[in-house]
Amino acid sequence: MFRTAGLDEVTDANFDEVVLKSDLPVLVEFGADWCGPCRQIAPVLKALADEERDRLKIVQLDVDTSPGTAAAYGVLAAPTLMVFRGGEPVRSIVGTRPKRRLLQELEGVV
């Protein structure tokens, strides 16, 4: 199962409750077990989750076990990082990034 230690996993079943109804902005990593770049960005997301826990929630969604949510948001590549604020997607980033660049791309939405 696609999982990074320290990050919560969301599914089609609980996506609305965990992501769309969150008081904090939520960064969702759409990924999969077979995705090498997903493993590559995992330490970056874990570090961000620890550092930004008061301002940003970071969760993972396995596109193989929860394809409905991935399809609903037009996710075609893994990893896709999508930030939701107030129940709406506000930023989408495809592919891996070093932490510094990811933080720059998240400015203004977090």
How many of the other CB atoms lie within 10 Å of CB of 83? 20
Which helix (H) or strand (E) segment holds residue 90: the answer is strand 88-94
Judged by DSSP in three states, 42 sits in helix
Tokens of 19: 């992501």
Which listed residue (7, 35, 56, 59) is catalytic?
35
Assess whether 60 carries a catalytic annotation. no
Residue 103: which residues within 8 A CB-CB, separation 6 or more? Answer: 48
Assess whether 38 carries a catalytic annotation. yes
Which listed residue (38, 45, 49, 63) is catalytic?
38
Residues forming the active site: 35, 38
